[in-house]
A = this chain, B = another copy of it.
Amino acid sequence: MNEKLGAVINRPTKFLETFENPNPERNYHIRIDTPEFTCLCPKTGQPDFAEIKLDYVPDQQCVELKSLKLYYWSFRDEGHFHEKVTNMIANDLITLLAPRYLKIQAVFNVRGGLYTTIEVEHGHP
């Protein structure tokens, strides 16, 4: 965001904040998509781009939105294979939230004529 009035300077971080699930008595879905994920190819060093789609059923904790944005930002200068980075994000969120269900889809931009998507699921929806 273009915070030109009273701008807040932010930093990428691996630290994910949580808040208490306001309705843990019920199973419900939280879906958060971002088309703004980018990291580097570990072989060539060139940028990769992906849309990350998160869908989870919270137990006691929910992931805080701004910290999730900064967490995604933290991959910007890191080199990762598609399969590995998708599982890393899934593992970080599963460890953080112990959710009743979680799915991560990483839809990578085309490379060499190939369109690649990695989809990781934890538990049952």
Nearest Cβ on chain B to A47's Cβ, whole angstroms? 6
On whether the beta carbons of A33 and B119 are closer than 8 Å, the reply is: no
Q: From DSSP, what is the main secondary structure of chain A's interface residues?
A: mixed
A78 at the interface (CB under 8 A from B): no
Residues of B within 8 A of A11 (CB): 45
Looking across the interface, which residue of chain B has its beta carbon closest to that of A37?
B113
- Residue numbers in B under 8 Å from A69 (CB-CB): 112-114
Give every chain B residue within 8 A of A65 (Cβ-Cβ). Answer: 2, 4, 111-112, 114, 116
Contacts of A81 in B (CB 8 A): 19, 22
Tell me if A17 and B5 are in contact (CB < 8 A).
yes
Interface string of A1-39 (1 = CB under 8 A from B): 111111111110000010101110011111111111010
Given A38-B38, A49-B36, A83-B21: A30 and B113 within 8 A (CB)?
no
Q: Bound state CA distance, A118 and B55, in angstroms?
A: 10
| Whole-angstrom CA separation of A30 from B21 in the bound complex | 29
A121 interfacial contact with B, CB 8 Å: yes
Q: Could you tell me which A residues sit within 8 Å of B by CB distance?
A: 1-11, 17, 19, 21-23, 26-36, 38, 41, 43-47, 49, 58, 62, 64-70, 73, 76, 81-84, 86-87, 109-122
